[in-house]
Amino acid sequence: MSSIRQRTLGLALLVFGISMLVIGFISYRYAAHEIEALYDASLEQNARLLESLLQAPLPEASRDVLLSSLENTLGSAASSRHRMAGNREDSQLGFQLWNADNLLLRSANAPELPLVDHSPGFTSQSIDNYQWRLYVLEIRATNQSIIVSEREDVRGDIIRAVALRTLMPDLIGLPLLTALLWWSIGWGLAPLSRMAEQIRNRDPHNLQPLTLSPLPQELDTISGALNRLLERLRLMRVREKRFIADAAHELRTPLAVLDLHAQNALAADNLEDRQEALNHLRDGVARATRLVTQLLTLARLEPEEESQPEYRPANLLSEARETLAKLSPLAAEREHQLLLNADEQAEWSILEEPGAIETLVQNLVGNAIQHSPHQSTISVTLAATPKDFQLLVDDQGPGIPANERKKVVERFQRAGPSAGSGLGLSIVERLVTRHGGTLQLDDAPSGGLRVCIALPRTDSP
């Protein structure tokens, strides 16, 4: 693709060329009209001059001498004028003087027959393969008439010469105009070139805003968009570094424990010790897997300025029931009972980010299973109000002290000796916020922790 400079120059020259052609055509037509009018006036003036001379009171002998001299003079003047205007050596101006049907006087290039047989005034006629412009003047109170003529091709040569002289400065100045336009467009695009040069020479790791000032309005818009993009990239890099640091920090201890259990299994002297070490290793792998899953979920839920999550219709009751069914084996292993309390006849349609309800229930119930003693009851209650849906999860664990409830929703914040990775409630809080809801921690009636989530009843979160 050609450069902006070349495209702009080409467009400017195209517009200029078309404009010059239109102006030249209009100038040509205007010059043609004016020259036609000028020469018509000249024909009429010559005819009037002849009329005045013929009507002068002179003796017959003097009149013959006058007519002969007039013929020579008009022929010489016409020849001189057309040499100057049309670069012709012979006269193209013709005239005849008639008295009734008798030819009294004619120019050298005029035939002996009448040039025209028309009423007085201007007319055009083809004579001897040439187009002539004629003017017929009848002398008052006599039978005499004067016919003055001029070839129209001579007029055309003069018109073309005038138009060429008019357009010649434009044609000569076109190369100069092209050079000036090339320089002007380059000067106008200089800020864009400087911006491109700065971006080209920029360190790939440098995500600081571009500093170019002053900038034209168009480039200022581009610079602003680039700076916003750089800021988003910088924030993404910060989040990536934070995620890597968090993952490295949180996985260091579980991996060390897994290595310890593996060493114990290898060093065991009997089958029972080896089996116990392998069981601990298996539990450690499960905890590490859960931690990695939560880290990935939390990374996915990081706020992004450049995009908004897509939402889809879902049934809150069905989503909660299916998730509890998936958690049933884990609850059965710890001899927990999962209860779901909801009005089956109520309307549970809600807009959710794909997988959000499942993640909410999975994290809340998973935390409850992990922190509740064996043979406990974990209750999940769904309630529908005119304004929102409420999801309540009650367990029989140790709960969370009131003074620690605000900070446990932060990343990697734990409460109590049996706390997990510190990511579950952070994931829940992020999902609730993305759906425009609220999260509240309270004491459960059974003495454990109650987590209450309210999600609005709206067409869009």
Number of domains in the chain: 3
The three-class DSSP label of residue 426 is helix
Whether residue 146 is contained in a domain is answered as yes
Output the pLDDT for position 307: 53
Does the pLDDT value for residue 228 go beyond 80? yes
Measure Cα distances from 280 to 34, 118, 253, 289, 373 in Å: 110, 128, 14, 14, 19
Q: What is the mean pLDDT of residues 200-221?
A: 74
Q: Using pLDDT thresholds of 50, 70 and 90, give the confidence band for residue 413.
A: very low
Domain shared by 316 and 282, yes or no: no
Q: Are residues 317 and 451 in the same domain?
A: yes
- The backbone region for 262, taken as left when phi is positive above 0, alpha when psi lies in -120 to 50, beta otherwise, is alpha
Residues 33 and 62 in one domain: yes
Indicate if 140 and 272 belong to the same structural domain. no
The helix (run of H) or strand (run of E) holding residue 237 is helix 217-267
- Regarding whether 317 and 282 lie in a shared domain, the answer is no
**CB under 8 Å, gap of 24 or more: what pairs does 17-24 form?**
20/167, 20/170, 24/163, 24/166, 24/167, 24/170
* Same domain assignment for residues 55 and 157: yes
Q: How far apart are CA 15 and CA 12, in angstroms?
A: 5
pLDDT digits (tens, 9 = 90+) for 263-288: 888 888 888 888 888 887 887 787 67
CATH number, position 231: 1.10.287.130
Is the domain of 152 the same as that of 228? no
Neighbour-count burial for 206-223, b at 16+ CB within 10 Å, e otherwise: ebeebebeebeeebeeeb
Instruction: For 412-427, give one letter per residue: b (16+ CB within 10 A) or e.
Output: eeebeeebbbbbbbbb
Residue 69: inside a domain: yes
Residue 71 lies in a domain: yes
Round to whole Å and give the CA distance between 439 and 455: 9
- Is the per-residue pLDDT at 74 higher than 60? no
Q: Is residue 408 part of a domain?
A: yes
51 or 336, which is more confident: 336
Ramachandran angles phi, psi of 145, nearest 5°? -140, 150
Phi-psi region of 318 (alpha: psi -120 to 50; beta: other; left: phi over 0): alpha
Per DSSP, the residues of 164-230 read HHHHHHHHHHHHHHHHHHHHHHHHHTHHHHHHHHHHHTS-TT--SPP---S--HHHHHHHHHHHHHH
* pLDDT at residue number 68: 67
Would 198 be classed as within a structural domain? no
Residue burial 160-171, b: 16+ Cβ < 10 Å; e: rest: eebbeeebeeee
Residue 210 lies in a domain: no
Instruction: Give 446's pLDDT tier (boundaries 50, 70, 90).
Output: confident
Q: Is there a single domain that holds both residue 224 and residue 266?
A: yes
The residue-averaged pLDDT of 39-58 equals 77
Select from 300, 334, 354 the last residue of a domain: 300
Whether the per-residue pLDDT at 319 is higher than 50: the answer is yes
Q: Going by C-beta distance under 8 Å and a sequence separation of 6 or more, which residues neighbour residue 215?
A: 191, 195, 223
Q: The domain spanning residue 360 has which CATH number?
A: 3.30.565.10
Q: Is 174 exposed, middle or buried (0-12, 13-18, 19+ CB in 10 A)?
A: middle
Residue 366 pLDDT: 82
Question: Does residue 414 surpass a pLDDT of 70?
Answer: no
Residues 101 and 134 in one domain: yes
Provide CB contacts within 8 A for 323, sequence distance 6+: 357, 358, 361, 362, 365
pLDDT band at 86 (very low <50, low <70, confident <90, very high): very low
Q: Of 149, 167, 185, which residue is a domain's last?
A: 167
- Domain match, 157 and 19 both: yes
For residue 131, give its domain range: 4-167
What's the whole-model pTM score? 0.43
Q: Which of 167, 201, 233 is the last residue of a domain?
A: 167
CB–CB of 398/359 below 8 Å? no
Q: Domain for residue 305, yes or no?
A: no
Mark whether 14 and 163 lie in a shared domain. Answer: yes
| Domain presence at residue 126 | yes
DSSP per-residue letters across 238-272 = HHHHHHHHHHHHHHHHHHHHHHHHHHHHHH-SSHH
Predicted confidence (pLDDT) at residue 174 exceeds the cutoff of 80: no
Q: Are residues 272 and 324 in the same domain?
A: no
Gap between the Cα atoms of 88 and 310, Å rounded: 86
CATH code of the domain covering residue 94: 3.30.450.220
